[in-house]
Amino acid sequence: MVYKDCDIGSAKPNKNVLAKYPHHLVDIICPNEVFTVADFYRRSMEIIEITHNKNKLPIFVGGSMMYFKSLYTGINDLPERDQKFRDSLKKLKTNNKDFFLHEKLNQIDPEYAKKINKNDEIRIIRALEVFEKSGKRMSEVFLDNNKDCLSNKFDVSQFCISIDRNILHERIKTRLKKIIKQGLVDEAKNLLNKYDLDLNHPLRKSVNYKQAFEFIEKKYDHETFFDKALFATRQLAKRQTTWIRSWDKFKEIDLMEPEMLENDVKKLITAL
């Protein structure tokens, strides 16, 4: 939802909803840029502080659980993206043999290189970038526990909605049909025409947009496009559910008993 012009594929709340219930972190960046976990962490901490100063309760809602987890447990202090350096790495990759960048990483940080796939260009480039800008190896970074954790600063309540698998799958299917009817493919075409989306841009790999882009590129027909988007969404939901249930602290709320969540939130607001 952070990206402008990505309304349908991200199921962004419509203008009426946003007007009635103001949201943060919506339409804050153009798709020709990249919104990172570090950006989310920094902006979220600012929002939390502003909200507390107004004696209100900040509530984070959504499906980007990796981002929430990073906010909760903290992130390491690492250098920002350097697009010029990244472009230079991509030129080196083009002018050299396969897995050149992975071999380069292996020379610098063999321990981390062993843990990631040779084709995982995103993590490889980030590791090389971090080393170039800070001299830190990623294998050393992950051993550093000196993080600014949200959980150390505030009392945080975490809720997870529990829903029957069959109901969830039907809702995902209904939602996919709806966003395709609303114009997902046309929105994806607009993004490709309006912005220079790097092949490694997160949007290129995000559920719904990835499949729409590939359909536009005529990699498969419309029926296959639908089936692939449906499968990818269901797999994402499954991974998120499994991951959340591995967390130490959260309260599971049955979908059929929403008043439980409402009551818990009211208690939190009263305690302010």
Tens-digit pLDDT profile for residues 46-66: 999 999 999 999 988 876 778
Q: Quick one: which H or E segment has residue 159?
A: strand 159-162
Q: Which of 134, 61, 57, 129 is nearest to 92 (CA)?
A: 129
| Section 14-20 average pLDDT | 89
Give the Cα separation of 2 and 34 in Å (integer): 10
Residues facing residue 254 across a β-bridge: 162
Residue 174 CA to residue 237 CA, distance in Å, equals: 15
What is the structure's pLDDT at 4?
A: 94
What is the Cα–Cα distance from 251 to 157, expressed in whole angstroms? 8
Q: At residue 119, does pLDDT exceed 80? A: yes
* pLDDT value of residue 101: 92
What per-residue confidence (pLDDT) applies to 167? 92
What is the structure's pLDDT at 213? 97
Q: Please give the residue that has the higher pLDDT: either 212 or 86.
A: 212
Higher pLDDT, residue 65 or 19 = 19
Does the pLDDT of residue 73 top 90, yes or no?
Answer: no
Q: How far apart are CA 244 and CA 69, in angstroms?
A: 9
Q: Which residue has the higher pLDDT, 107 or 148?
A: 107
DSSP output for 127-151: HHHHHHHH---HHHHTT------HH
Q: Which residues pair with 29 in a beta bridge?
A: 3
Question: What percentage of the chain carries pLDDT values higher than 90?
Answer: 43
Q: Is 99 in contact with 45 (CB distance < 8 Å)?
A: no
Considering 126-140, 142-156, 209-223, the range whose residues carry the highest mean pLDDT is 209-223
Q: What is the pLDDT of residue 175?
A: 95
- How much is the pLDDT for 224? 97
Q: How far apart are CA 195 and CA 192, in angstroms?
A: 6
What residue spans define the domains of the chain? Answer: 83-141
Contacts of 56 (CB under 8 A, 6+ apart): 272
In contact, 52 and 58? CB cutoff 8 Å = yes
- Asked if residue 12 has pLDDT above 80, the reply is yes
Asked if pLDDT for residue 144 goes beyond 90, the answer is no
Residues 109-130 have a mean pLDDT of 90
Average pLDDT score over residue span 73-88: 84
Task: With cut-offs at 50, 70 and 90, classify the pLDDT of residue 75.
Answer: confident
Q: What is the pLDDT of residue 63?
A: 67
Mean pLDDT of the chain: 88
The model's pLDDT over 233-246, given as tens digits with 9 standing for 90+, comes to: 999 988 888 888 78
Tell me how far apart the alpha carbons of residues 162 and 120 are, in angstroms, rounded to a whole number. Answer: 33
Res 96: pLDDT: 84
Distance CA 268, CA 57 (A): 8
Strands 159-162 and 251-254: parallel
Question: Which pLDDT value is given to residue 145?
Answer: 64
pLDDT at 250: 80
Give DSSP secondary structure letters for 191-218.
HHHHS---TTSHHHHSTTHHHHHHHHTT
Q: What is the pLDDT of residue 25?
A: 92
Residues 200-228 have a mean pLDDT of 94
**CATH 1.10.20.140 describes domain 83-141:** yes
The string of pLDDT tens digits covering residues 181-193 is 999 999 999 999 9
